[in-house]
C-alpha cells in the first residue's frame, strides 16, 4: 500500500508532462508548417495531402524576399521602432507606476480611476483624433508619429504600480537620507527591485510594437519607412500570390520575438509569478 502511494506522484508527473508535450506539439504544428512551406515551391505548398517537410527544399523564396522586397530594410525599421518603443514604454510606465505607488498627491485616487477607465476604451476609436493630431503636428510619415502615441500605456502604469508597491519604503528613505534625489531613489532602488516586472512588460511591449499593423500603415506613407507587418500584408496582391515568400518573411519576422522570450524566459516567468502572488 505504501509503495502504491509513493508511486502515484510519479504517475501524475508523467501524465502531466505527456499532456503538456502533446499540447506543445499540437500548437507547434502551424509554426512547423510555416517553416517547411518557406522552403517549398508554390505547387508543393498546395498539394494534397499537405506535408510539413518539403520534398525538394529550395531557398529561392528567401532570395526573392531579400532582393525583390528589400526585407532587410523593413526588418531593421521594425527592429528600431520596437526597441525604441519598448525602452520608452518601460521608462515612462515604471516612472508613473512608481509615482502612484510611493507618493501621496492631490486627486491621486481619481486620476488612478480615470487611468483604469481608459483601459476600457477600444484603441481603434482613438485612431481618427490621433491621426488629425499627427497631421497638425506634422508627424505624418515619420517615426516620431509612430512612436509618440504608444510611449506610455494605462496597462503598463497599472502593472508597474502593483509591483512598485512591494518596494520597501525603508530602502527609499535610507537612500534619501544618504542624499539621493527622488529620481535617484527610483533609478537606483526601485527600478532594480522591479526587474522581473520590467522583463514581463518588455516582452509585451516589444511584441505589441513588432506586430503593430494599422497605425504604421496609417502614418507611414513612404515605402522605405514601412514596417514588416505592412510589407508582409502587401506581398499577397490581386494578381500575385507568392505564399512561399510570405511564409519565409513570416518565419524570419517571428525569430526576434522567440529570441527575446527565450533570453528573458526566467525573468518573464518570475515576474508573472510574483505578480500573481501579490494579487
- Bridge partners, residue 236, by sequence: 241
> If you ran DSSP here, which 8-state letter would residue 214 be given?
H
Tens digit of each residue's pLDDT (9 = 90 or more) over 12-43: 788 888 998 999 889 888 889 999 999 998 88
Helix axes 243-263, 60-68, angle to 10 degrees: 90
Distance CA 116, CA 119 (A): 5
Distance CA 13, CA 275 (A): 26
What is the reported pLDDT for 186? 94
> If you ran DSSP here, which 8-state letter would residue 103 be given?
-
Higher pLDDT pick, 74 / 51: 74
Query: Does the pLDDT of residue 137 top 90, yes or no?
Result: yes
Tens digit of each residue's pLDDT (9 = 90 or more) over 139-180: 999 999 999 999 999 999 999 999 999 889 999 999 999 888
- Among 1.20.1090.10, 3.40.50.1220, 3.40.1280.10, 1.10.3720.10, name the CATH number for the domain at 59-278: 1.10.3720.10
Distance CA 165, CA 217 (A): 39
Decide if 200 contacts 272 (C-beta within 8 A).
Answer: yes
Task: Kindly state the average pLDDT of the residues 253-258.
Answer: 90
Q: What is the mean pLDDT of the chain?
A: 88
| Residue extents of the structural domains in the chain | 59-278
Range among 6-20, 180-194, 256-270 with highest mean pLDDT value: 180-194
> If you ran DSSP here, which 8-state letter would residue 20 be given?
H
Which of 26, 85, 71, 38 has the alpha carbon at shortest distance from 209?
A: 85
pTM of the model: 0.86
Decide if 134 contacts 219 (C-beta within 8 A).
Answer: yes
Helix axes 243-263, 71-102, angle to 10 degrees: 40
Residue with grid cell 503593430, as numbered in its chain: 212
What is the reported pLDDT for 124? 82
What is the reported pLDDT for 276? 46
Amino acid at each position: 500500500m505504501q509503495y502504491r502511494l509513493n508511486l502515484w506522484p510519479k504517475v501524475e508527473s508523467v501524465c502531466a508532462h505527456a499532456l503538456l508535450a502533446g499540447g506543445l506539439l499540437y500548437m507547434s504544428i502551424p509554426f512547423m508548417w510555416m517553416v517547411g512551406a518557406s522552403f517549398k515551391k508554390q505547387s508543393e505548398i498546395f498539394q494534397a495531402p499537405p506535408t510539413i517537410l518539403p520534398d525538394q527544399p529550395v531557398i529561392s523564396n528567401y532570395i526573392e524576399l531579400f532582393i525583390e522586397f528589400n526585407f532587410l530594410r523593413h526588418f531593421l525599421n521594425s527592429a528600431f521602432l520596437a526597441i525604441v518603443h519598448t525602452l520608452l514604454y518601460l521608462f515612462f510606465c515604471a516612472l508613473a507606476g512608481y509615482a502612484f505607488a510611493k507618493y501621496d498627491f492631490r486627486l491621486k485616487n481619481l486620476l488612478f480611476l480615470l487611468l483604469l477607465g481608459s483601459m476600457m476604451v477600444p484603441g481603434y476609436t482613438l485612431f481618427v483624433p490621433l491621426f488629425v493630431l499627427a497631421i497638425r503636428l506634422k508627424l505624418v510619415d515619420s517615426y516620431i508619429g509612430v512612436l509618440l502615441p504608444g510611449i506610455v500605456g494605462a496597462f503598463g502604469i497599472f502593472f508597474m504600480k502593483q509591483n512598485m508597491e512591494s518596494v520597501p519604503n525603508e530602502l527609499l528613505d535610507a537612500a534619501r537620507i544618504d542624499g539621493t534625489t527622488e529620481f535617484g531613489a527610483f533609478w537606483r532602488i526601485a527600478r532594480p527591485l522591479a526587474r522581473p516586472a520590467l522583463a514581463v512588460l518588455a516582452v509585451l511591449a516589444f511584441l505589441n510594437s513588432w506586430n503593430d499593423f494599422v497605425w504604421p500603415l496609417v502614418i507611414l506613407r513612404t515605402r522605405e519607412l514601412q514596417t514588416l507587418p505592412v510589407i508582409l500584408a502587401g506581398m499577397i496582391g490581386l494578381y500575385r500570390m507568392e505564399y512561399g515568400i510570405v511564409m519565409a518573411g513570416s518565419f524570419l519576422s517571428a525569430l526576434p520575438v522567440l529570441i527575446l522570450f527565450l533570453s528573458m524566459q526566467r525573468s518573464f516567468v518570475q515576474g508573472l509569478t510574483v505578480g500573481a502572488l501579490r494579487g
